[in-house]
Each structure stands twice: as C-alpha cells, then as structure tokens.
Amino acid sequence: MALRIGSTLQEAGYRLFSRTGAILLGAFFALLIGFQALINTIVAISFTRLGFGEATAALPLTLDIPLSVAGAGVAVGSVVSLYLTIVSFRTFVAGARDSFPDGAFTRNVPLAMVNVLVGGIVYGLLVFIGSLLLLIPGIFAYVVFIFMMPYIIVEDRNFVAALKESYRLTEGDRVALFVLLFIVIAVATFVGGVVGLIGALALPQPAAQLPTVVIQPLVSLYSTAVIAVAFEQLRETDGIPPSAPSEDGKPTTAL
C-alpha cells in the first residue's frame, strides 16, 4: 500500500492536538521563548560592545546576564531541544495521545542524542553536497534519508544503520513522500511568512518577533508528527510493527 498523503496529514494533526501533543507543544514553546531571549541577549551585548548600543532597543526579550551565561544557556537549550525531539518522535510514532509511551523519556537517551547529532551532520552534508550537484541529488537525499531520526530514536539504531534503513523503507514511495514533504514545507513557509509579516506591520518593533516565536513550535512539531506518522504507515506496509526491535534483538544505538 502506497503512502497516503491526506490521511498522514490528518493523523499528524490528531496526534499533535492531543493531551501529549499539547504538553510537548507547551514545552517547546517555553524552550523557544527562553532560547530567543538568550540569543537576543547575546546579540544585544555584542552590539553594545561594538558601539551600536542604540540598535539593541529594537530587540525584545533580552536578559540582564553576562555573555558567558547567555552562551551556556544556548548550549543547554540546544541539548534540551534535542531531548524533546526524541520524546516527540517516540510519542508520535507510538500514536500515544493521552499518555506518553513507556521509555519515551529515558530509554537510551544519551546514545540516541549522539547518533542523532552525528547522523544529522552526515544527513545535512549529504543534502548539501547533493544540492551543489544541480539540486536534484540534494532533494533525493533529503527524501530518502528522512526517516533516519525515527529509526535512531524509535528503534535504537545507530545512524549508519538508520540511513540504510531509511533508504530501503522509502523505496516505491519516494514520489509520494516528496509531495508530502513539499506540502508541509510550503505550508510552513507560507504560514511563517504571513505571521512574520503581520508581526512586522501590526506590532511595535520590540514585539515584532513574538508572533514568529509563537507559531514556530507549532509548525516544527507538526512537521515532526507528519514524519512520524509517515514512518509508522510505511513500516506497517512493510510488514513490521513500528515498535519492532533491531534484527538481532539488541539495541544498535551505539556508534
């Protein structure tokens, strides 16, 4: 059975607008507010040191903290964001709408983080290098390796095995998967642009960033839900339950 684009988009919405989805959305929203405040603080301090202190008046959400503390906060926030992404994929793939699945917060988290981080760099390089080759290979790499993260996070694969499995899983459904991802990216870009424009035109400059900060977690988490649902759907089509262990029955998250 081929990937069902309409049902994937719809089911992703159901999973996002649920009890677990609302909790994740709230966590991401709080994280992004703090992250944006730290970034703005770093920019404000840097501008002030360069003699452009008047430019910092346009920045909202700045904190009265040292530059080193703001930098450390950004690093911690990045780790928390990665952790929440792991929890999100495990929750959405499992279809858990009322409560979080077992192990969502604790199972192999450090090794999953390492593999997602290293695998993300490799994935990004593959897409970047492919994009330099007349763009089409970059799009191909983006589509065929899109399930790398779910394989690492849900099935405890290492990033090499996850890339291979993602390539295999997308066979026969790559055109439909491209259309699905194109729809999500196009809608996210449109919504983000409209919200950003409204913020710039309707709000005073210090608050112009706020609408974008509000909408970004929603768009990002919905995109995660779409990938998770598509992954689950293709895994079921492939005849293997989404929660199936690795082939030898042991976790394969280690590098």
Dihedral sign (CA 79, 82, 87, 88): positive
Q: How far apart are alpha carbons 177 and 3 in whole angstroms?
A: 7
Q: Which of 92, 126, 127, 89 is nearest to 108 (CA)?
A: 89
Local confidence pLDDT in tens for the 255 residues of the chain: 578 999 999 999 999 999 999 999 999 999 988 988 898 899 888 888 887 767 666 677 788 899 999 999 999 999 999 999 999 999 999 999 999 999 999 999 999 999 999 999 999 999 999 988 878 899 999 999 999 999 999 999 999 999 999 999 999 899 999 999 999 999 988 988 887 777 767 666 666 667 777 788 899 999 999 999 999 999 886 656 544 443 434 444 445
Give the domain ranges of the chain: 5-237
How high is the pLDDT of residue 152?
97
How high is the pLDDT of residue 179?
95
How high is the pLDDT of residue 57?
67
pTM of the entire predicted model? 0.86
Say which amino acid occupies 222.
Y
SS3 per-residue string spanning the chain: CCCCHHHHHHHHHHHHCCHHHHHHHHHHHHHHHHHHHHHHHHHHHHHHHCCCHHHHHHCCCCCCCCHHHHHHHHHHHHHHHHHHHHHHHHHHHHCCCCCCCCCCCCCCHHHHHHHHHHHHHHHHHHHHHHHHCCCHHHHHHHHHCCCHHHHHHHHCECHHHHHHHHHHHCCCCHHHHHHHHHHHHHHHHHHHHHHHHHHHHHCCHHHCCHHHHHHHHHHHHHHHHHHHHHHHHHHHHCCCCCCCCCCCCCCECCC
Q: Which of 78, 81, 47, 41 is nearest to 61 (CA)?
A: 41
Q: Which of 50, 144, 111 is nearest to 252 (CA)?
A: 111
Radius of gyration (C-alpha) of the chain in whole angstroms: 20
How high is the pLDDT of residue 64?
85
Say which amino acid occupies 114.
V
